[in-house]
A and B are shown apart, each in its own frame.
Chain A
């Protein structure tokens, strides 16, 4: 079974500072993908960044980067230069390769990020 753990229910950061949102995962699949989604108060799910289990380099997308430590099974999201519009719920998710997992995404509990002016 796959499991995603986000241990920070809430995080606060000052505008323009960097923040790290933690994500650890558990899977027996040798191949898997890790995703981060943002859910603002308006409710939609917005894809941010992806990291593959065989990727040698950490993924980056603009102000978002993923600190992937495979041996520790962690995939932390780093947001640089936080903006007020970054205030939202952030979800870490995984998809594995087992027959039972199929193409589903398994989500963590989410971290509510608040950016203070």
Chain B
């Protein structure tokens, strides 16, 4: 049973194309995230959704548009891909609201999607 799944695992595409990455969690969590891991392995938050509502939107180009059709899914659509978008993108989820131990809420990560822009 995969807790947080992402598709595809690998994505190779040309500059200028539009692509999407899908994420699903079956943990019943109410909050989902997108993180980007660059070539130096640095991880940084991009977006966070709580119950389908956007709550964190970091300084990310507006070519990146997250969409949450329901609280179990958070997809990432990227328009006009650039070379600098090449990275590993991780989806994560956690339970935030009505949680007795807010600070300890572990974020569960998906396996990552390695995006390569040629």
Please give, as numbers and ranges, the residues of chain B lying within 8 Å of A106 by CB-CB distance: 45
Q: For the complex, give the distance between the alpha carbons of A35 and B103 in Å.
A: 10
How many residue pairs link A and B with beta carbons under 8 A? The number is: 62
Number of B residues whose C-beta is below 8 Å from A? 29
B48 touches A33 (CB 8 A): no
Chain A interface (Cβ within 8 Å of chain B)?
31-33, 35, 37, 39, 43-45, 47, 50, 52-53, 89, 91, 93, 95, 97, 102-107, 109-110
Chain B interface (Cβ within 8 Å of chain A)?
31, 33, 35, 40-45, 48, 50, 55-56, 88, 90, 92, 94, 96, 101, 103-109, 111-112, 114
Can you list 27 A-B pairs with a CB-CB distance of less than 8 A? A32-B103, A33-B103, A33-B105, A35-B106, A39-B41, A43-B88, A44-B109, A44-B112, A45-B112, A47-B108, A50-B106, A52-B103, A53-B103, A89-B41, A91-B43, A102-B56, A103-B48, A103-B50, A103-B55, A104-B33, A104-B45, A105-B35, A105-B43, A105-B45, A105-B107, A107-B44, A110-B42
